[in-house]
C-alpha cells in the first residue's frame, strides 16, 4: 500500500468526530476498490460521471460503524486519509473542506502526494470515459 498518510494530527479522534463519513462524496481509485474488495467487501461504490465514489447507506458511509468508527480504517480509501483536504472537481482545486468543523487543526504534510492522488483519480476517469466512448453504439436508422 502506498504511503498516503498525508495529514498530521488526528483531530477527528480527539473530538470523536466522524462528520466526513456522513453523506460522504469520497472519490476512490481502482487501487482503493481492489484493496477493499480483497477484504471481502462488495457493492460499496458506484460510478458517476466517470468517477468512482463510496456509497452511503442511511446517510452514512457504508463503512461507518454504529460506534462511529471506520470498519476498514487500516484499508480506508486514500482520499479519507487526506480529508479534510479534498479535490473539488467543479472548481478544479484542492481545498480544505469547510464542512469539517476542525479543519484548521490539520496540516498537510505531503502536498505532492495529494496532487499525485488527484492526478491518478483524473487519469483513471479519463481512461473510463475513453473506454465508454469506444463502446458507444450508433444506430441511426
Ligand atoms: S471509508 Fe472509513 S474513513 Fe472513509 S468515509 Fe467511510 S467510514 Fe469514513
Confidence of residue 121 (pLDDT cuts 50, 70, 90): very high
Kindly report, residue by residue over 49-84, the tens digit of the pLDDT.
999 999 999 999 999 999 989 999 999 999 999 999
Q: In this structure, how many other beta carbons lie within 10 angstroms of the beta carbon of residue 127?
A: 12
Probe residue for ligand 1, chosen from 59, 70, 100 as the CB with the greatest number of ligand atoms within 8 Å: 70
The rounded Å distance from CA 19 to ligand 1 centre is 10
Strands 51-54 and 56-57: unpaired
Nearest CA to ligand 1 atom 5: 21
- Determine the residue of 18, 24, 45, 46 to mutate for testing ligand 1's pocket, defined as the one with the most ligand atoms within 8 A of the Cβ atom: 24
Cell of 35: 484493496
* Whether residue 5 has pLDDT greater than 60: no
pLDDT tier at 8, thresholds 50, 70, 90: very low
Indicate the burial class of 65 (C-beta count within 10 angstroms; 0-12, 13-18, 19 or more). middle
Cβ of 54 closer than 6 Å to ligand 1, yes or no, is: yes
Cα dihedral sign, 84-73-40-29: positive
List the grid coordinates of 105: 487543526
Where are the chain's structural domains? 12-134
Average pLDDT over residues 92-116: 91
Cis peptide before 84 (omega within 30 of 0): yes
Amino acid at each position: 500500500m502506498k504511503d498516503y498518510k498525508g495529514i498530521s494530527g488526528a483531530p477527528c479522534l480527539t473530538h470523536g468526530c466522524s462528520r466526513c463519513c456522513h453523506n460522504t462524496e469520497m472519490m476512490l481509485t481502482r487501487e482503493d476498490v481492489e484493496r477493499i474488495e480483497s477484504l471481502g467487501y462488495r457493492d460499496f461504490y458506484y460510478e458517476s460521471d466517470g468517477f468512482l465514489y463510496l456509497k452511503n447507506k442511511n446517510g452514512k458511509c457504508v463503512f461507518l460503524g454504529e460506534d462511529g468508527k471506520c470498519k476498514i480504517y487500516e484499508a480506508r480509501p486514500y482520499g479519507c486519509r487526506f480529508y479534510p483536504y479534498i479535490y473539488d472537481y467543479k472548481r478544479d482545486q484542492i481545498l480544505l473542506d469547510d464542512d469539517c468543523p476542525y479543519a484548521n487543526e490539520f496540516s498537510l504534510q505531503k502536498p505532492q502526494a495529494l496532487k499525485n492522488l488527484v492526478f491518478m483519480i483524473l487519469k483513471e476517469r479519463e481512461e473510463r470515459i475513453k473506454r465508454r466512448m469506444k463502446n458507444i453504439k450508433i444506430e441511426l436508422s
